[in-house]
Amino acid sequence: MDAVVQPLSLASPSPRVTVRLAEVISALTYALDLTEGQRPGHTLRTTLIAMRLSEDLGLDSESRAALYYASLLKDSGCSSNAARMSALFGSDDQALKRSMRLVDWHDRWRLAMRTAKSCGIGLDPISRIKHFLQVARTPSLTREIIQTRCERGAQIATVLGFPSATGEAILHVDEHWCGLGHPVGLAGNEIPLLSRVLLLAQTFEAYWIEHGLRAATEMARARRGTWFDPALVDRVLAWHTDKTWWDKLTDMVHLEEQVVALEPGMTPMVATPERLDRIAFAFAAVIDAKTPYTARHSTNVARYAVSIMGEIGADAQTYRDVLRAGLLHDIGKLGVSNRILDKPAKLTDDEFREVRKHPTWTLEILRHVQAFEHFADAAAQHHERLDGRGYPFRLGGEQIGTMARVLAVADVYEALTANRPYREGLAVPKVVDIMSRDRGTAFDPHVLDAAVALAENGILAELAEVTENGFEELQRRGAPAPVVLLSNAA
């Protein structure tokens, strides 16, 4: 029997508040910590260390602003190498990244030992040896992995409209003072100062949070003149006795508040609607870069959801909210290992349980962002069903709002029609047949009917392929008016 289907409610819950850009990006850094395998608050603590260094150095306000946002966005490219690392090492990418960040690459013996311990965790000895040999035989592996991450992070900073110095700092964050870093191999003062600051700040934080202040201090002293600019190390070592300041970095309750308060400039940057859209698109790119299996999933779900909402009818803010919710609905997948996401075989029950955690992480992350919290529930409910058999919250009927119902349909439609390495995307008639079997049980009939009409008219297929210049033509051919919001996704 069909589940009870409640009438659609299209009122927008979106608040009309002014939000600082620093607040939005600071809150979203927890997602970056998740995919980079770092402890919660890693990026924020790195930013505090970097900004104190900038004060000690007497940097001008322009340089401090560039460093501030470089610190917050330094790991925005980290998802782009997750699949590659997990496949080569045969291990969870998050744990692998956290472990490898602590090793000194210049010490070949220690690097080899750490690599051996990190390969094929949980696998049989023969498989572990095979993965180790695979890593050892891959030329320039470290450079390749770092270059992918740094170039992607710098690109995202540019897309978000930050100054070139911000992107440059991210691009060269893993260059070492001695010239043996990556991706270019710059040395000494050839390395941008902001990159030198950022490398020391993030490495010191990683050691400090894992092993304590003494171990971090010893690490900085040992790598002085090899990894790090000696003058910067001397400044950080001088803080060793400032216990009050280090204690502030452990205050998770006020960590974001501390970071936001340090935003350089007399007038804080405001998160305008256009900037919020760019942030949503940028983080959708971070999400989709996590695995090659879903290269455009978030963008397409957002496009389909806006188009479906256009068929149903809603106000302008609701269109914008469903766009952002679609772009960010899978942000929780940044916490799922690529060892699971990219597995070619059937998942075990334990692996399914891990995958099914991602909507909960989506909810936690988006609730943390003031500008996005009003659609956090809807974004996190994209795997719920009207009959209560969805996950992870087991909601049903009227407990599931309109936006979540739209996202649920858009998400499944995209997954079925998109090409995957293991199969071609299904044809529209086949997808319609499959989804229609769950009409009224999994999917809201009104939403599904709207999606089917768009699919059969070819609108959804064109949305997945259209470039920015093609949106006007698409609207002339019958696409709903709010599709103009999607031009930024081209």
Distance CA 70, CA 450 (A): 43
Q: Which of 148, 182, 414 is nearest to 289 (CA)?
A: 148
CA distances from 370 to 16, 19, 283 (A): 11, 7, 16
Q: Rounded to an integer, what distance in angstroms lies between the CA atom of residue 118 and that of residue 151?
A: 25
**SS3 of residue 431 by DSSP:** helix
Q: Which residues pair with 228 in a beta bridge?
A: 224
Phi then psi for residue 268, to 5 deg, are: -60, 145
Task: Output the six-digit token pair for 22.
Answer: 């620093």
Tokens read off for 76: 């925005």
Catalytic residue among 117, 248, 333, 346: 333
74 is a catalytic site residue: no
**Where is 355: in which H helix or E strand?**
helix 349-355
How far apart are the C-alpha atoms of 343 and 349, rounded to whole Å?
13
3-state secondary structure of 413: helix
Beta bridge partners of 443: 439
HEC assignment per residue over 263-284? CCCCCCCECCHHHHHHHHHHHH
CB 310 within 8 A of CB 339: no
Q: Among all residues, which ones are annotated catalytic?
A: 333
